[in-house]
């Protein structure tokens, strides 16, 4: 078994838009091991870019834990 290079648990990201709270990512678990290749697909507005920003350490998640 190889070591996880990315290990996210219960990741959530919320944004405030005025009075409205937007849940961009909710309860995502993701483990990527060395040598794995993944693709992220989904509808427009599903939170794909936000998830990638969390993986790349460009976005701090509101909830959950993990990292590289």
Q: What are the structural domain ranges in the chain? A: 4-60
Higher-scoring residue by pLDDT: 20, 66:
20
pLDDT at residue 61, rounded to an integer: 96
CB of 24 within 8 A of CB of 42? no
> pLDDT for 22-39, tens place per residue?
999 999 999 999 999 999
- Give the angle subtended at the CA of 21 by the CAs of 44 and 24, to the nearest 5°: 30
pTM: 0.86
What sign has the CA pseudo-torsion 15, 50, 60, 23? Answer: positive
């Amino acid at each position: 078994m190889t070591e996880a290079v990315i290990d996210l648990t219960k990741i959530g990201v919320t944004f405030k838009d005025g009075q409205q709270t937007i849940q961009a990512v909710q309860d995502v678990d993701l483990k990527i091991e060395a040598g794995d290749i993944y693709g992220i697909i989904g509808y427009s507005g599903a939170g794909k870019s936000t998830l990638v920003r969390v993986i790349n350490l460009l976005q701090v998640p509101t909830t959950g834990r993990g990292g590289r």
